[in-house]
Amino acid sequence: MEQSVRANSWQGSLPKIGIRPIIDGRRGGIRESLEEPTMKMAQACAQLLSGRLRHPNGMPVECVIAETTIGGAAEAARTAEHFRREGVGVTISVTPSWCYPLETIDTDPHMPKAIWGFNGTERPGAVYLAAALAAHNQKGLPAFGIYGKDVQDMGDGSIPSDVQEKLLQFAQAGLAVAAMRGKSYLSLGGVSMGIAGCIVDEAFFQNYLGMRNEYVDMTEFVRRMERGIYDRDEYARALAWVKEHCRTGEDVNPPSLRRTAEQKEKDWESVVKMALIGRDLMIGNPKLAEMGYEEEALGHNAIAAGFQGQRAWTDHFPTGDFMEAILSSSFDWNGTREPLIMATENDNLNAVTMLLGHLLTNSAQIFADVRTYWSPEAVKRATGQELSGAASGGVIHLINSGPAALDGTGEQTIGGKPAMKPFWEITDEEVSRCLAATQWRPAIDFFRGGGYSTDFTTRGGMPVTMARVNLIKGIGPVLQLAEGSTVELPVDIHRVLDERSDPTWPTTWFVPRLTGSGAFKDVYSVMNHWGSNHCAVSYGHIGSELITLASMLRIPVGMHNVDEDRLLRPSVWPAFGANDPTGADYRACQAFGPLYR
């Protein structure tokens, strides 16, 4: 299968990382002796990041090193201008020595910034690090401090593993911040069934994410479908691919509500067109310009979107489930490619959470209802059997008809274990397994317009992170997350529990990692503390990365089970209460305010 790597699906260049080599500016032997080790430190940092990081579209991350070392305000200004020309979106300052903080720091208020101070004794960069961070804090410009645990010798060009980990974590989160800036969230329709997460709060998108909001009524789908405003050749290819690879599952509707074979065939044609149109609305399509639709060809520069669907659309037209699921997956009829983030029910807050997870992992996301907590006692009563192993303390049933990416089957592997991978690592065989593990079930009775929903069960043993951004009056956005793993239940237990909800929808059985206290006292407590009906699920334990990213955006984290030694936040956060990290996070975010206020 081919890989579809685009230079960039959105307007604007891909953000770069700017490396700022900071130096003691005193001439007469001091600066001269430091030029080589300082620049080598910058080069080593750039080599690490460029070698280990990729953008979600598969392109390698570029680092831009300042043209000269920075010993004062003039060189700092010259570097800032250089970085603006190069499209730098995040900066890392590096130094092995003492320098003059106020004259050399990065003062761009919107640029995520970190300082790596070399842990050495000859000319300790740690002294500059502490002084420069103090200057940032006093000026209200939060910066991340990176400092190795072990002393190194001057001239040692290696980067200790603990420093590498922090540099990579900071850079990935900073690139996510930069990637969102200037992009759009596209609302396809309005509020679905009174769900508050569908209400678009423009101040949140503008002030916290640096994004704009675009709105398109769902009738635009009707116009484009009826007038043929889509790539006809691609449609024919997509429909043929669907007929070959997408298995239609059992129809569980009563006979009186089942659609005819002819209607179901038409439904497939409609949902494939919807997928093409939804993609074109988000990122545009030059083919449309060739057809005479120059305006439509542009798209809305949407890095994320949501489709209202229920009920205005689904009472009459086929559901958006196929469109949402296939766009959110890492492959389609064109081969493997970067997933597009599209939320069901226009839940823009869950779309944002999916987007954060995607930008941090480069992989697809699972959208789900946080549907049911099944206690061991309730499972025994319903099935006559007992839960065991990782599920012995109960499980959370994650299930929704909408955009659970087909990657969520767990049929991709890393080291022989179930995984969800960046598209460039996915093999043809893995794509085939994901498709084979998925059935497309005719929509159930309350989707009166027909259509198809994905039906699969996620394989057990995947480390995953469940997350959600909620808006709270008086606070603003708050992130909550739970690291844990997927589990597989015995077939007889799964079948009984699944059929009590909706057997035509994809199921992920989730067990959070427990701490024994608070929201993570037990599985029930996690469910009971969850702040919405929806969540996004990312592959891997990325709680620390999400927390780092949230701190850059000034979004407090109200619930998490990440070990304290994995946390990486701006150096000023402990000033708001070192013995109360959660409270300090809230106070710091309130004090500094949203990144783009």
Nearest to 171 by CA among 209, 116, 213: 116
Tell me if residue 425 is catalytic.
no
Q: DSSP assignment of 496-527, as one string?
A: HHHHHH-TTS-EEEEEEPP-SSGGGSSHHHHH
Number of alpha helices (DSSP H) and beta strands (DSSP E) in the chain: 19, 24
Alpha helix locations (H) across 183-314?
202-204, 219-227, 232-245, 261-283, 286-290, 294-298
In the chain, the amino acid numbered 501 is S
- Give which of 97, 109, 102 is closest to 41, Cα–Cα: 97
Q: How far, in Å, are 137, 278, 456, 580, 588 from residue 574 at the CA level?
A: 11, 45, 44, 8, 9
Helix locations, 122-218, DSSP H: 125-139, 161-180, 202-204
Element containing residue 65 per DSSP (H, E): strand 63-65
- 244 a known binding residue? no
Whether 75 is catalytic is: no
Alpha carbons 102 and 273: distance in angstroms, whole number: 57
Q: Are strands 507-512 and 476-486 parallel, antiparallel or unpaired?
A: antiparallel
Within 8 A by CB and 6+ apart from 38, the residues are 21, 22, 23, 69, 94, 95, 96, 97
How many Cβ atoms are within 10 Å of 129's Cβ, its own excluded?
27
Distance of CA 161 to the CA centre of its chain: 25
| DSSP-derived secondary structure letter, 206 | I
Of the residues 369, 407, 430, 502, only one is catalytic, namely 369
Q: Is 369 annotated as a binding residue?
A: yes
Residue with tokens 């407590």: 525
Q: Which of 345, 347, 407, 430 is catalytic?
A: 345
Q: For residue 479, with 0-12 CB atoms within 10 Å meaning exposed, 13-18 middle and 19 or more buried, which class applies?
A: buried
Q: Specify the residue for token string 């990041």.
A: 49
Cα–Cα distance measured from residue 452 to residue 242, given in angstroms and rounded to the nearest whole number: 12
Other CB atoms within 10 A of residue 223 CB: 12
For residue 579, give Cα distances in angstroms to 75, 86, 519, 574, 583. 39, 41, 19, 8, 9
> What is the C-alpha separation between 404 and 507, in angstroms, rounded?
9
Beta strand pairing status for 452-455 and 439-442?
antiparallel
The residues facing 307 across adjacent strands are 188, 344
Tell me the three state secondary structure of residue 205.
Answer: helix
231 a known binding residue?
no
Asked if 181 and 11 count as a contact pair (C-beta separation under 8 A), the reply is no
What's the CA gap between 327 and 307, in Å, rounded?
12
Token output for 89? 């979106």
Among 286, 252, 271, CA closest to 327: 271
Active site residues: 345, 369
Which residue numbers belong to the known binding site? Answer: 345, 369, 534
